[in-house]
Amino acid sequence: MPQFVRQVPEGDNRERLVCPSCGHIAYENPNIVVGSVVVEAGRVLLCRRAIEPRRGYWTLPAGFLEMGETVEEGARREAQEEAQAHIALDGVLAIYSISRIGQVQLIFRARFDGPPAFAAGPESEAVALFAWDDIPWDAIAFPTVRWSLRAWHVAGAGRLGPPAGNPPEDPRGTTRWPADPDAPKGCP
At 176 the pLDDT is 78
Do 61 and 47 meet the contact criterion of CB atoms below 8 Å apart?
Answer: yes
CA 104 vs. chain centroid, Å, equals 8
At 179 the pLDDT is 52
* Type of residue numbered 163: P
3 state DSSP class of 32? strand
Q: What is the pLDDT of residues 42-81, one digit of tens each?
A: 999 999 999 999 999 999 999 999 999 999 999 999 999 9
Mean pLDDT of 143-159: 94
DSSP of 78-123: HHHHHH---EEEEEEEEEEEEGGGTEEEEEEEEEESSS------TT
Q: What is the C-alpha to C-alpha distance for residues 20 and 157, in angstroms, rounded to an integer?
A: 55
Q: What is the C-alpha to C-alpha distance for residues 65 and 77, in angstroms, rounded to an integer?
A: 9
Whole-number percent of the chain with pLDDT over 90: 87
> What domains does the chain contain, in order, with CATH numbers?
31-155 (3.90.79.10)
Q: Is the peptide bond before 136 cis (omega within 30 degrees of 0)?
A: no
Q: Against a cut of 0.85, is the pTM above it?
A: yes
Q: What is the C-alpha to C-alpha distance for residues 57 and 40, in angstroms, rounded to an integer?
A: 21
pLDDT over threshold 50, residue 182: no
At 2 the pLDDT is 67
